[in-house]
Amino acid sequence: MSKIKTAFFCQSCGTQYSKWMGKCTACGEWNTLVEEVIQREEKGLAGSTLGNRRASVPINITSINFDQEARINTHDQELNRVLGGGIVPGSLTLIGGEPGIGKSTLMLQVALKCKDQKVLYISGEESEQQIRMRAERLGIQNEQCYILTETNAQAIIRHLESEHPGIIIIDSIQTLQTDLIESSAGSISQIKESSSEMQKYAKLTNIPIFLIGHITKDGSLAGPKVLEHMVDTVLQFEGDRNYGYRILRSLKNRFGSTSELGIYEMNDNGLREVSNPSEILLSQRDDHISGITIAAMIEGQRPMLIETQALVSSAVYGTPQRSTTGFDARRLNMLLAVLEKRSGFRLGHKDVFLNIAGGIKVEDPAIDLAVMAAVLSSNQDINVDSKTCFAAEVGLSGEIRPINRVEQRISEADKLGFERILISKYNTKGLDFKRYSIQIVTVGKIEEMYRKLFG
């Protein structure tokens, strides 16, 4: 301990202090001082032998060995896809998500499915019995899965050196604690320092590590932004806890695309991989209900059809309410303003509620037209038939705008038996209408869509 020196650094301007202060005297910012290690023991990695194992020397880039096929199969097709084809040896992956969303379940499931590797699941959150109970619930047997309940980073490294696991999972980064720093577990300096030790271990041994991390109320990963820089891959596990569907999104990936996403459904016995995303489309509905439309969307690389539901009613209180689930509230306000200003629909005194089915969060702007149609349908109380779907963005002047990969959306809708799809009239370049049995209706303005839908 005595050989380790720490100091406090302002995270905003970098000024160094020997003790903690509430305000940085150099830049005037409050609460920016964080403890950091400035000089560690000679051996590095807190006494382990790994620190000296490999001295770095410059190597010619052409003589560096690499093996593209070296990825480790997680036996979870959705996770494989999001990682870009499996785990890269020596990589550090951070999995973030709100408490209770299913991070521990997902990773334990992966640990149990990887029967060809020795997996070490390190938990600082649950006891061995609790983890065993969860494993029973998941119903997967694996002789190669080991559980360790430990939070001290140095102790963990010692275990890793004797156990030699092939994959390491740490649940969670907020419970890790290193001897190098005195602040309590979960503080920024602890998270940063402990993760950096795990990162060094992963790089030196070429063993992949998964770190589970909690997310703060505002949606960012709890802990410093620097953690996201340090790791190779950042995955986010999200969904509405009241619904079964969960989405695994990649926010950063040094070894693959960030546009891939994995879809799961939380069941009584763990997470089920959803290989056909359009199943989220809830089809058990009455044909004569107004305010429901279907959007042909693309999330990640995959097309899926999603139900949007709107309810428009006279405002009970003075200020009309606007509330959304799974859709950006500001975007809804924008669409309502466009309807009011450009097309003369009086929605200013109406309450508007909007839901995306399945509790999933949509980012694809191609859902705009479906949202608008759902709002109009509810407002006029005329239903849109269930064999019609939509795929277009709406601009500020009320124009129906083109979107990317329209063919893929049309094919998916066609395949699922839809009879009509509304797209932008500026989206028809290179489109072969005769190739599909679905009727492709092109529209340029909101009024045009209204006429074609409600006559």
CA angle (361, 451, 444) in 5-degree steps: 65
* Residue 303 binds ligand TYD, judged by CB under 6 A: no
Q: What residues between 114 and 153 interact with ligand TYD by CB under 6 A?
A: 134, 137
Check: CB of residue 62 under 8 Å from CB of residue 29: no
Residue 104 CB, shortest distance to ligand TYD, in Å, is 3
Two structure tokens written together for 436: 């599909």
Cβ-based nearer residue to ligand TYD, 133 or 282:
133
Cβ-based nearer residue to ligand TYD, 221 or 413:
221
Name residue 425's amino acid: K
Tell which one of 69, 218, 268, 286 touches ligand TYD (CB under 6 A).
268
N-to-C CA span, the chain: 79
Check: CB of residue 241 under 8 Å from CB of residue 227: no
Q: What is the DSSP string of 283-348?
A: ----TT-TTEEEEEEEETTEEEEEEEEEEEEE-SSSSPPEEEESS-HHHHHHHHHHHHHHH----T
ω before 314 within 30° of 0 (cis)? no
Beta bridge partners of 292: 309
User: How far lies 208's CA from each of 47, 367, 381, 388, in Å?
Assistant: 21, 38, 55, 46
**100-108, 228-236, 416-424, 433-441 -> range binding ligand TYD (CB under 6 A):** 100-108
Residue 271 CB, shortest distance to ligand TYD, in Å, is 7
* Residue 211 binds ligand TYD, judged by CB under 6 A: no
* Residue 249 binds ligand TYD, judged by CB under 6 A: no
**96-104, 245-253, 318-326, 400-408 -> range binding ligand TYD (CB under 6 A):** 96-104
Tell which one of 198, 266, 310, 371 touches ligand TYD (CB under 6 A).
266
- Dihedral (C-alpha) 268, 139, 279, 403: value to the nearest 10 degrees? 110
Residue 102 CB, shortest distance to ligand TYD, in Å, is 4
**103-111, 188-196, 274-282, 428-436 -> range binding ligand TYD (CB under 6 A):** 103-111
* Residue 32 binds Mg ion, judged by CB under 5 A: no
Cβ-based nearer residue to ligand TYD, 130 or 183:
130
* Residue 104 binds Mg ion, judged by CB under 5 A: yes
Residue 175 CB, shortest distance to Mg ion, in Å, is 10
**101-109, 200-208, 323-331, 435-443 -> range binding ligand TYD (CB under 6 A):** 101-109
Residues 51, 258: Cα–Cα separation, whole Å: 33
Residues 273, 432: Cα–Cα separation, whole Å: 34
Check: CB of residue 310 under 8 Å from CB of residue 353: yes
* Residue 100 binds ligand TYD, judged by CB under 6 A: yes
Cβ-based nearer residue to Mg ion, 99 or 348:
99
Residue 168 CB, shortest distance to Mg ion, in Å, is 16
Binding partner at 318 among ligand TYD, Mg ion, none, C-beta below 5 to 8 Å by kind? none
Q: How many helices (H) and strands (E) does the chain have?
A: 10, 21
* Residue 113 binds ligand TYD, judged by CB under 6 A: no
The footprint of Mg ion (CB under 5 A) covers 104
The footprint of ligand TYD (CB under 6 A) covers 97, 99-105, 134, 137, 266, 268-270
